[in-house]
Each structure stands twice: as C-alpha cells, then as structure tokens.
Amino acid sequence: MVDALELEEVGPRCFRAENLPGTQGVVFGGQLLAQAIAAAARVSDGMTMKSMHTVFARGGDPEQPLELQVEEIHRGRTFASATVSISQGERLCTQSLVLLHHPDEEFVTYRDPPPETPAPEHCPASSGRDGWDVRIVGGVNVYDPDEVGPPELNVWSRFTDVPDATWASQALLAYASDGFLIGTAMRPHPGAGMSLAHVSISTSVITQTLAFHDDFDAGEWLLLAHHSPHAGRGRSFGRADVFTQDGRLVASYEQENMIRAYAADRQPAPGERSKY
C-alpha cells in the first residue's frame, strides 16, 4: 500500500495511480480512500487533512490505472476545501470532499476513553497484506457465517515502512478503515459472513467519512473500535473510533453499506465471485 501512494503527476492537480497487485474483481475501496488523501496532500500547501467524505459511485477495474483530479473549492488562513475525483476514462469511481486545516492552539479539550481490550500481542494475528499487521480482539472471525455475535469488532492495526509524513499515516489508516464495518454488521445474523460477500450476498461500501482528530503514526499499534447500530432494508450503517495504544482518540470514521441478496440476473455462477 505504501508503494501505491506514489502518484504520477500528469498535469496541474492531476495524477495517475496504479492498483495494488493481486486485486481481483473490483479495486478495494480502502485503496481509493488512501490515494485520494495522497492526492490532496500533494496540493495541500502545508495544511493537514481534517476530514474526508467519499461517495463510491462505481467499482474500479483493477486492470486499469486510476486518474485523480483535485479541484480546490476554497482556501483561507485556517481552512481549505477541495474535491478529489478518481476515474477510469469516462467512468467516475469515487468523489471525495476533503477539508484541510492548520490546527489551532488547545482551547476545549476532551476525548472518549478506549474500550478495554487485550494488548495486541495477546490477540491472534489475522490475514492482511504484506506490511500490514492485523490482530482481531477475541479471535472473532467475521468470515464465518455460523459465528454469531454482537455488531461490534475491535481490531489492532499496524503498518511497516510508513513514510514520515502526517498524510501518509492518515492514508494508511484510511486503507485499513474500509475492511471491517460490513463484517461487523453481519455478525448478529446467522448465515451471513464475509466469506459469502460477492458469492451469495451482494455487498458494497456506499459512502465513507473519516475525521482526523490528532496526529498519529500508522506504524504503531492503533485500535479500531467498530460498532454497527443499524442494519435493514439492504443497508447498514457503522462507525469506529481509533485509539493509540496509550489510549488517545486520534480519528473516527463511519460508513454506509449495501448488504443484500443478489438479483436473479446477477447471481454469480457456482464457484465464481461476482464483481457486483
């Protein structure tokens, strides 16, 4: 993922990006979030990312490169805003509204405490990409459709070889943030699990919002505390708070998702996975 943050400048506020190797079906949404932050950082003029709201309009083809266009909306002394559009040819994949800022001095300060969880070294390792260490608290398996539990999931996350830049840690957290809230929403329902996504259950992220509260290092352990308060009518909503290992709340994110049965004409053939 660190390599995928290297964007090629092809014009004023225009960039080209490659997809992660080994991607199948559609481009992972977390990759698009991370690259949108990387593009915004290239034109930030010293400001840092405060928040980003993204609409996932269409799936991306992993065999085609991505085109990123940044358009500034406003720039002031403290805040700036812009849109980041990611396309493949005429096909718009995502559009993000980003807010940048220069942080002010402390005035009103408080933070929610983290949930009580075992330290990451006491949690079983989960599968992740090379350079990304994932530990799920309690060994919860969101891929098992027979494992039922509350719509909550605590995940420890840590990356290796993280560049020494605020935006890079934000981008890597954005990458990590995309993969767990659909599974969290499925937990209370027997017969629903992430192993069935794109097989017998059609799932997709529709929108995602990230808010960054304080600086952090994605190369150190971060606790991603997920909760999904609602699922129904083919949709789910979830949110998460992100804590450092010493208990600082440094970011939050929320996500709207689609979780539904396949239409008859889009059901994948046995043994195949759908792109829908």
CATH number at residue 204: 3.10.129.10
Q: Are residues 66 and 159 in the same domain?
A: no
Q: Are residues 135 and 179 in the same domain?
A: yes
Q: Are residues 97 and 196 in the same domain?
A: no
- Terminal C-alpha separation, the chain: 24
The alpha carbon of 47 is separated from its chain's Cα centroid by a whole number of angstroms, namely: 21
DSSP 268: P
Judge contact between 206 and 257, C-beta under 8 A. yes
Residues 168 and 172: their CA atoms lie apart, in Å, by 6
Last residue of a domain, one of 39, 71, 102: 102
Q: How many domains does the chain have?
A: 2
Residues 25 and 202: their CA atoms lie apart, in Å, by 13
Q: Are residues 184 and 274 in the same domain?
A: yes
- Give residue 94's domain range: 1-102
Q: Are residues 128 and 94 in the same domain?
A: no
pTM: 0.94
Judge contact between 156 and 120, C-beta under 8 A. yes
Q: Are residues 71 and 170 in the same domain?
A: no
| Residue 118 resides in a domain | no
Q: What one-character-per-residue DSSP string does 19-66 give? A: PPTT--SS--HHHHHHHHHHHHHHT-TT-EEEEEEEEE-SPPPTTS-E
| Residue 114 resides in a domain | no
Residues 222 and 5: their CA atoms lie apart, in Å, by 20
Q: Are residues 77 and 162 in the same domain?
A: no
Q: Are residues 141 and 69 in the same domain?
A: no
- Measure the CA angle with vertex 58, ends 13 and 49; round to 5°: 40
| Residue 119 resides in a domain | no
pLDDT in single tens digits along all 276 residues of the chain: 899 999 999 999 999 999 998 887 889 999 999 999 999 999 999 999 999 999 999 999 999 999 999 999 999 999 999 999 999 999 999 999 999 999 999 999 999 999 999 999 999 988 667 899 999 999 999 999 999 999 999 999 999 999 999 999 999 999 999 999 999 999 999 999 999 988 889 999 999 999 999 999 999 999 999 999 999 999 999 999 999 999 999 999 999 999 998 887 778 877 777 765
Helix (H) or strand (E) holding 181: helix 181-186
Joined together, the tokens standing for residue 19 give: 């997809």
| Residue 117 resides in a domain | no
| Residue 108 resides in a domain | no
Last residue of a domain, one of 102, 137, 164: 102
Judge contact between 156 and 118, C-beta under 8 A. no
Q: Are residues 138 and 86 in the same domain?
A: no
Residues 35 and 6: their CA atoms lie apart, in Å, by 9
